[in-house]
Amino acid sequence: MSDEINNAGSKGYCLMYGFIGLFLFVILVVSVYYKNFAFLG
């Protein structure tokens, strides 16, 4: 029983870190895009 709970917890943490990483990556790409656009403009 506890093994299933630990497995679900690790899967949940993996999914959470994946979403956080994707969110930070999108913020990074958007900020770099806007900075390059400001320099070009």
Q: Identify the residue with better confidence: 36 or 18.
A: 18
* Domain limits for position 27: 1-41
pLDDT in tens, 7-29: 777 888 999 999 999 999 999 99
Q: Identify the residue with better confidence: 34 or 24.
A: 24
CA–CA gap between residue 19 and residue 26 (Å, rounded): 11
SS3 content of the chain, % helix, strand, coil (to 5): 95, 0, 5
Could you tell me the pTM of the whole model? 0.61
- The answer on pLDDT for 35 being more than 60 is yes
DSSP string for 2-38: HHHHHHHHHHHHHHHHHHHHHHHHHHHHHHHHHHHHH
Q: How many other C-beta atoms are found inside a 10 Å radius of the C-beta of residue 22?
A: 10
- The answer on pLDDT for 1 being more than 70 is no
The count of structural domains within the chain is 1
